[in-house]
Amino acid sequence: MSKVKVTIWNENIHERQEGPTAEIIRSHYPDGIHNALREELAADDLEIRAVSLDMPEQGLPQALLDDTDTLVWWGHCGHAKVEDSLVDRIQKRILEGMGLVVLHSGHYSKIFRRMLGTHCSLRWREVGEKERVWKVDMQHPIAQGLPDSFVIPHTEMYGEPFGIPPEAHVVFMSWYEGGNVFRSGVTFQRGAGKIFYFSPGHETFPIYRQPEVVRVIGNAVRWAAQSLPAAQTVCWDKDPAPETVYSENPMAKVDTSALHKKA
Ligand code: ZN
């Protein structure tokens, strides 16, 4: 059985900063969120690589992208540091069929906003409140092996309205102690690629050590790895018309071919 090739990308900035907040983050994730997720997701059917922004080619040389079935993305304060040329290369791979799993503050990443085309804004509040995550689509592969709902004891609130396209397919919905609600697990299709966004994962709490959260992400990387049928990614050639056209072309005597040439 061939393994699902997963690449976990993390900006790895908060984990290496100075001060008490960074020390708390390091107490949960001593080698960074990417390496913690690699440990937690470890399974016989997965081949997992963990990379970060500070690596050559920002952690994602083309050969690695070409060898990735699902890319997992965690970013926050370093979104602007990600080169547009890298975003172009990731977008192309997703349209060709690579899966993308975007976590927590990755809602504002260049790649997520590029793929969705919307502002992806949301309400937020950081007071260490409780979150209850509800399964909404009970049959969805990403929801399997989980209880109907589970609690994250301390979290950062992400609330509606969430600025994502209206076709978002909701797999999980969250309720927060402070009263807000949020579409916390949503899927999209772009070209042959599948995309999943999952909001839990604020870095000052050990959320990626919680078994239910790890289960969701594990389900998601396997689901997203199964690409959709190949998508048409270039403009079609001039179509020969399967039926006879009887209409008289008012432009028949004029050569319009120049309109279709690239400027
Ligand atoms: Zn956060």
Q: Give the pLDDT confidence of 167-211 residue by residue, as tens digits.
A: 999 999 999 999 999 999 999 999 999 999 999 999 999 999 999
Beta strands 169-176 and 181-190 are antiparallel
Mean of pLDDT values over 1-9: 95
SS3 state at 178: coil
Compute the average pLDDT of residues 70-95.
97
Q: How far apart are CA 49 and CA 60, in angstroms?
A: 11
The pLDDT of 1-18, averaged and rounded, is 95
pLDDT exceeds cutoff 80 at 121? yes
The confidence band for 99, taking pLDDT boundaries of 50, 70 and 90, is very high
Q: Does the structure show a pLDDT above 70 at 233?
A: no
- The answer on pLDDT for 213 being more than 70 is yes
Q: Residue 103 Cα, ligand 1 centroid: separation in angstroms?
A: 10
Q: Is the pLDDT of residue 231 over 80?
A: no
User: 157 φ, ψ to 5°?
Assistant: -75, 125
Instruction: Work out the average pLDDT over 251-258.
Output: 93
**CA–centroid distance, residue 105 to ligand 1 (Å):** 6
Summarised one tens digit per residue, pLDDT across range 59-80 is 999 999 999 999 999 999 999 9
Give the pLDDT score at 102: 98
| 95: helix, strand or coil | helix
Q: How far apart are the C-alpha atoms of 37 and 234, rounded to whole Å?
A: 36
> Can you tell me the distance from the alpha carbon of 155 to that of 126, in angstroms, rounded to the nearest whole number?
7
Q: How far is the CA of 157 from the centre of ligand 1 (A)?
A: 8
**CA dist., res. 202 & res. 208, Å (int):** 9
Residue 49 neighbours by CB under 8 Å, 6+ apart: 5, 6, 7, 8, 38, 64, 68
Domains along the sequence of the chain with CATH: 4-118+182-225 (3.40.50.880)
Q: Pairing relation of β-strands 181-190 and 193-198?
A: antiparallel
116 Cα: distance to centroid of ligand 1 (angstroms): 21
Calculate how far, in angstroms, residue 22's C-alpha sits from the geometric centre of ligand 1.
13
Residue 129 CA to ligand 1 centre (angstroms): 13
